[in-house]
Every structure is written in C-alpha cells, then in structure tokens.
C-alpha cells in the first residue's frame, strides 16, 4: 500500500497488491493517508512460498484486474 500510494502521489498510475490477510490494514493505511481511492487487487494469502505454479496461477488470475485499473 505504501509504495502504491507514494507512486500515485507522483501522478503515476499504481495498483497495490494486497493479500486477503492484510486487506483491513490496507483499508486503514489508505484511509489514514488520505488516498482511499488507490486501486487494490486482493490476492490469496499466503502467496509467498507457495511455489512457482501457484504464483503463476495467481498472476494469471489477477492480471486482468491490474490491466483494467491501469487502463481507466
């Protein structure tokens, strides 16, 4: 969230990738930073350590959402 908000403040389109476990913290940080509109995509938790096949599956699942956010 922090990196996405910093990039968005520079006027560069950004999308935060946040796992479902940390979604509430993402809400809190986005709201407390005054940037609740920064787009986010929810990932399953955990992602790290789940293996290359699972990472590729997650990437494939979320890519359309990322492209949609960055295209609008």
Is the full-model pTM beyond 0.75?
yes
pLDDT of 38 higher than 90: yes
The tens digit of pLDDT for each residue in 24-36 reads 999 999 999 999 9
What is the arithmetic mean of pLDDT over 45-70?
Answer: 95
In contact, 35 and 63? CB cutoff 8 Å:
no
Work out the widest C-alpha separation in the chain, in whole angstroms: 37
pLDDT score at 5? 96
Domain borders along the chain are 2-71
């Amino acid at each position: 969230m922090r990196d996405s908000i910093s990039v968005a403040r520079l006027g560069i389109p950004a999308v935060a990738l946040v796992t479902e476990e940390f979604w509430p913290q993402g809400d809190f940080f986005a709201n407390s930073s005054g940037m609740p509109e920064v787009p986010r995509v929810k990932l399953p938790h955990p992602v790290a350590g789940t293996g290359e096949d699972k990472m590729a599956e997650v990437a494939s699942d979320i890519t359309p959402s990322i492209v949609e956010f960055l295209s609008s």
